[in-house]
Each structure stands twice: as structure tokens, then as C-alpha cells.
Amino acid sequence: MDKREEEEDTEEAWLQLQPVEPLPSQCCGSGCSPCVFDLYHQDLARWEVARASNDRSLLSGKQSQSCPSSLSPESFLAFSITAVDKLTKDTYRVQFALPGNSRLGLQPGQHLVLRGIVEDLEIQRAYTPISPANAEGYFEVLIKCYQTGLMSRYVESWRAGDTAFWRGPFGGFFYKPNQYGELLMLASGTGLAPMVPILQSITDNADDETFVTLVCCFKTFDSIYLKTFLQEQARFWNVRTVFVLSQESSLEQLPWSYREKTHLGRLGLDLIEEVVRCCRRKPFALVCGSPEFTRDMAKCLLCVGLAEDSYFLF
């Protein structure tokens, strides 16, 4: 083999090692840091330096995505599925095993990114664990599936014993006990997920005297997630729950325990004003739901006098 052929083979070998730019579907759209595109640019820069130096050992800083040693925002880690519970016709609570009695290590309200592959297309989506932050040996997530969703097809194929890949944690809200006089939680559908571990961290801590008003928005009574958990939380002296059902026609059809705390229709400015007025202390608001819901709630909160630094949008 002459020198020219050796150079061509070397060039071909380096091109095979070049990182592949992610597809748009591989970004979960949740503003994670680092994003898959951040990781790509990091890997590309490392590859360019190694190639210029003709030193492949410089690539060794890249951790394998299939076998990282611990949960990391940059690398996916495999977790075994131990249970898949169908809560409603389109929503699942999925439990994953952790080694021994270890903990996931997330702060309440932080989220993870799930990687799935459907028809050879890699997709990534963000989900917030609903298990307590101090849960040992497991964690749980709440996932809603959509008829046309690629990730939904992947999730609906899960069975106990399967493996799923997660990376994280991500999230910009960090709750500290007694940091706020009252938390006003506005959640629509699976937007309830980040509220669950935050709420439980408050009620599990006898020294945390934060008041909580949780407003849950669903279409119907049957579509409410985690009813038992929400009823148990509402028994605490500092927790108040409110339900807003957009497709129920009469309170008479609901159980007695729900009638006084349920409103029919959609959550709007009038009800937000009423809820804020009934808060026992000046509230700090947390909002999670669809992009439209989040935008609408942010406008309502500004209209009732909360400044932009008095609420957080998940």
C-alpha cells in the first residue's frame, strides 16, 4: 500500500468516527442543559481536535452512552421496568428499579429525558418522576400517550422486565422548605407530575409549614390521576386541593367529597382571582401543562398582581 492509499484509509477511518448530528426528533424541547445538540457540538469539537492531532486517544473522554456508571445529564443509563399500571385510557404510571436501596438523586420537580427508538428513528422526551425524592430502590413516572405520538408507541410496548434509557437530572426550580409562605400549584393533565414530589416533600417534613393550594385541571372526573394520593394530601392542615373539570356537565354526578372543591369549565382569570384571594399567605405560583395552558396561566397571574419573579413555569 502506497502513502496515498494509507492517507485515504486514515481519512476514511476518521470520518467513520465523526459524531453524527442529532435529528430534530432527538431533542425533547424542554430546554435541557446540556441538550442533545450541546452534546453533539462537544463531541464534534473533541473529534476535530483528535483528528488534527491524529491521536485517537483524545476521543476517550467521551463516555459510552450504553453503559455509564451513574445517572448523568450527558449519558443515558439503563433502568429495568418493574411495573406498568394503566391509570386511564391513555395514561400510565411506570415504575423503574434502582440498584439496592439507592435513590435516584433528583430534587423534587426535576425531570429526566427518556430515549426511545421507533422505526429506526431516535426520539427523546422529558418526564418528571412522581415518586418521592427520598424513594429507595425505585422511581415512578407518569406518561400520557397520544394516538399519533412516536414516543407513545414506544411506551405502550413496555412490559415489566423491559429496559428503558434515561439521562438527567434537569430543571431550574429547586424547592427549599419554608422558602415561600404559600405555593399555588396550577397543573393541567400530566402537568400534575412535578407538583407531586414537591407537595409530598412538604407534607413529609413536619418542620415545613408552607401552605399549598393545588389546582388540578382535567377533562372529566374519571380522567383525574392519582385520586387516592390527592385525597390523602388534602387531609393535611396546610394543603387545599381544587379541581377544574372542563367536560363535566353537573357537580351532582361527582362523589360528595369532590363537589365543594370542584369547578366546571376551564381555569380562567375569574377563578384564578378567587383562588389567589383565598390563599392564606402571599403565594408563589408553579405552573405546568400544555404550552397554551402555561401561557394563559402566566397572563392570568400577571393580571391578578403576581410579578414575573413570583411564579415558575415548568
Euclidean distance between CA atoms 87 and 29, whole angstroms: 26
Please report, for residues 120, 283, 288, the alpha-carbon distance to residue 311 in angstroms, rounded to integers and kept in the order given: 40, 9, 11
The reply to whether 152 sits in an annotated binding site is yes
The answer to whether the beta carbons of residues 248 and 221 sit under 8 Å apart is yes
Q: Is 151 assigned a ligand-binding role in the annotation?
A: yes
**DSSP string across 160-194:** TT-EEEEEEEE-S----TTSSSEEEEEEEGGGGTT
How many angstroms separate the Cα of 194 from the Cα of each of 18, 133, 258, 296, 302?
Answer: 38, 11, 23, 19, 22
Quote the cell numbers at residue 50.
483528535
154 marked ligand binding residue:
no
Q: Which of 61, 51, 19, 54 is nearest to 38 (CA)?
A: 19
Q: Measured between alpha carbons, how far is 143 from 127 in angstroms, rounded to an integer?
A: 7
Q: Is 127 annotated to bind ligand?
A: yes
Question: Distance between CA 279 and CA 183 in Å, rounded?
Answer: 9
Within 10 Å of residue 64's Cβ, how many Cβ atoms?
Answer: 9
Pairing of β 182-188 and β 211-218: parallel
Q: How far apart are CA 264 and CA 218, in angstroms?
A: 10
Sheet of 311-313, strands arranged across: 262-264, 239-245, 211-218, 182-188, 283-288, 311-313
Return binding residues for FAD.
125, 127, 142, 144, 151-152
Return binding residues.
125, 127, 142, 144, 151-152
